[in-house]
């Protein structure tokens, strides 16, 4: 594994032997007796991520490691595997028979490609204890052969430029020298299903991604201000959902036009409570929607105190209207941390685009930071809330952004891309 800038991974070795990709398990490996269930889920998600890659692939299980290979370029395997949540690291590797001569030849070939003067170390892990040499003897054997055959290299065990990892399994051995970070976490779906309230901003897509990393399969619901706003926020929500669905077996995106109900709240005298009253209507509607699709919790991108509608009192007032628990993965995050993560997830470039957000429609000049429940209830009493929710759900449009063409799309037409 090269951790020195400027030292290129000696990839040409991969052409000489069978190439593969090593996927090191994340938290799955902590899961005692349930481990096989989590591993199966992880592999199901990996298989789904490999669909349509353009050639046959195979997956092999070793202890806390998944080996991935196939008749497709290694780069393509890496690209797909790096999106699957549940792997701590993703390593391009070569695969040889578990035979000391074959392993040594592959090691010489791999390290023969690193620059003159660079330092290296060999670290062997012997998962098959029947292999005749101990790990440290394999290290020493390979190190000596490399020094003899590749002029200009030096050993540095403390701070090597390149670390060659040798993992000996029964029958096969894997050599790797580059470690790419994976998405870690628990396999999507292993913790159940949630419904994420997705706006067009930075926060809620990052919250969705964090929820996925704790094992939640996520459906998404976006409220727009139609008929009083243009559809720009829907295009953004669709593009965000497509990006997020690359990390999970594609979930649904529901789009609900909230404008008319927002007007009803304003006419009922919500005043400074308008934003919190709208948010309560969103979670009420989302709870009803979630129970129809088997989601057991809602997820939002709230961060405590970030804006007036996210004070503790207002979050409590919102929770009171939800029939389901409201999870807030970003509650303690700062805005800059959220934006940095949005860049890494790949949603920042979409979130930054301008849109007409339903929350700014009818927003009062000053939002109450302490929306009292009695006042909220007296505003809501002037509407028939059950009927409002039914009407909103009746007009919801549903998509499955990013799914294969043959996957079922429950209803609605796809909006134009953002
Ligand atoms: P974001 O960047 O996610 O838009 P924000 O800082 O703008 O967050 P708010 O507008 O107060 O915060 O929204 C808080 C949370 O409420 C959002 O993270 C999202 O989960 C939910 N939410 C807000 N607006 C909508 C919407 N139009 N549709 C669905 N959910 C929404
Ligand atoms: Mg927002």
Band the pLDDT of 1: cuts 50, 70, 90.
very low
Q: Is the pTM of this model over 0.85?
A: yes
Atom of ligand 1 nearest to the CA of 300: 20
Q: Positive or negative CA dihedral for 126, 129, 131, 135?
A: positive
- Ligand 1: which residue has its CA nearest to atom 20? 300
Helices (H) and strands (E) in the chain, counts: 14, 15
- ∠ CA 169-158-137, rounded to 5°: 40
Closest of 148, 146, 105, 101 to residue 122, by C-alpha = 146
Check if 329 has its Cβ closer than 6 Å to any atom of ligand 1.
no
Structural Rg of the chain based on CA atoms: 26
Check if 358 has its Cβ closer than 6 Å to any atom of ligand 1.
yes
Q: Which residue has the tokens 């806390």?
A: 64
Q: Using CA atoms, how far apart are residues 133 and 98, in angstroms rounded to an integer?
A: 11
Residues 247-254 have a mean pLDDT of: 96
- C-alpha distances out from residue 6 to 3, 34, 94, 150, 322, Å: 9, 42, 22, 19, 53
Q: Using CA atoms, how far apart are residues 230 and 415, in angstroms rounded to an integer?
A: 13
φ/ψ of 20, rounded to 5, equals -160, -175
- pLDDT tens by residue, 270-305: 999 999 999 999 999 999 999 998 999 999 999 999
Q: How many other β-carbons are positioned within 10 Å of the β-carbon of residue 71?
A: 10
Check if 199 has its Cβ closer than 6 Å to any atom of ligand 1.
yes
Check if 202 has its Cβ closer than 6 Å to any atom of ligand 1.
yes
Q: Using CA atoms, how far apart are residues 382 and 163, in angstroms rounded to an integer?
A: 69
- pLDDT tens by residue, 59-117: 998 878 999 999 999 999 999 999 999 999 999 999 999 999 999 999 999 999 988 89
Closest of 227, 273, 222 to residue 382, by C-alpha = 273
Residues 44-73 have a mean pLDDT of: 93
Whole-number pLDDT of residue 237: 98
Per the CB < 8 A criterion, the answer to whether 158 and 123 are in contact is no
Residues 107-131 have a mean pLDDT of: 94
Q: Using CA atoms, how far apart are residues 248 and 252, in angstroms rounded to an integer?
A: 11
In the predicted structure, residue 7 carries a pLDDT above the cut 70: no
Q: How many A from CA of 358 to the centre of ligand 1?
A: 10
Q: Using CA atoms, how far apart are residues 305 and 317, in angstroms rounded to an integer?
A: 14
Q: What stretches of 119-257 adopt beta strand conformation (E)?
A: 119-126, 154-155, 162-168, 172-176, 180-181, 192-197, 216-224, 253-257
Q: Using CA atoms, how far apart are residues 141 and 150, in angstroms rounded to an integer?
A: 14
Instruction: Give me the domains of the chain, ranges plus CATH numbers.
Output: 12-181 (3.30.2130.30), 192-399 (3.40.50.620)
Whole-number pLDDT of residue 23: 97
Band the pLDDT of 403: cuts 50, 70, 90.
confident
φ/ψ of 362, rounded to 5, equals 65, 10
- DSSP one-letter code for 362: T
């Amino acid at each position: 594994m090269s951790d020195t800038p400027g030292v290129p991974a000696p990839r040409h070795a991969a052409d000489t032997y069978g190439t593969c990709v090593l996927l090191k398990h994340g938290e799955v490996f902590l899961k005692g007796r349930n481990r096989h269930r989590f591993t199966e889920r992880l592999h199901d998600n990996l298989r789904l991520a490999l669909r349509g890659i353009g050639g046959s692939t195979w997956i092999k299980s070793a202890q806390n490691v998944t080996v991935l290979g196939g008749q497709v370029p290694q780069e393509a395997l890496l690209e797909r595997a790096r999106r699957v949540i549940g792997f701590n690291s993703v390593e391009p590797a070569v695969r040889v028979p578990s035979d000391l001569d074959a392993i040594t030849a592959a090691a010489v070939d791999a390290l023969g490609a690193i620059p003159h003067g660079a330092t290296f170390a060999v670290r062997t892990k012997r998962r098959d204890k029947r292999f005749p040499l101990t790990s440290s003897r394999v290290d020493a054997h390979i190190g000596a052969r490399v020094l003899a055959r590749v002029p200009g290299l030096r050993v540095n065990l403390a701070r090597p430029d390149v670390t060659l990892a040798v993992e000996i399994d029964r029958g096969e051995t894997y050599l790797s020298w580059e470690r790419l970070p994976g998405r870690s976490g628990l396999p999507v779906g292993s913790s159940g299903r949630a419904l994420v309230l997705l706006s067009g901003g930075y926060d809620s897509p990052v919250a969705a991604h964090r929820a996925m990393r704790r094992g939640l399969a996520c459906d998404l619901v976006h409220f727009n201000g139609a008929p009083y706003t243009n559809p720009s926020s829907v295009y953004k929500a669709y593009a965000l959902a497509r990006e997020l669905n690359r990390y999970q077996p594609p979930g649904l995106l529901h789009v609900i036009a909230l404008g008319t109900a927002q007007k009803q709240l304003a006419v009922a005298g919500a005043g400074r409570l308008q934003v919190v009253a709208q948010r309560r209507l969103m979670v009420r509607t989302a709870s009803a929607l979630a129970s129809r699709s088997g989601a057991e919790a809602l997820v939002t991108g709230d961060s405590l105190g970030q804006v007036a509608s996210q004070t503790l009192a207002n979050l409590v007032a919102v929770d009171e209207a939800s029939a389901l628990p409201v999870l807030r993965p970003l509650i303690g995050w700062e805005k800059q941390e959220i934006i940095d993560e949005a860049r890494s997830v790949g949603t920042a470039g979409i979130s930054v685009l301008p849109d007409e957000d339903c929350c700014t429609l009818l927003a009062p000049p000053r939002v109450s930071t302490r929306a009292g429940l009695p006042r909220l209830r007296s505003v809501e009493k002037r509407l028939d809330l059950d009927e409002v929710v039914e009407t909103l759900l009746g007009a919801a449009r549903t998509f499955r952004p990013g799914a294969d063409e043959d996957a079922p799309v429950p209803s609605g037409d796809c909006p134009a891309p953002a």
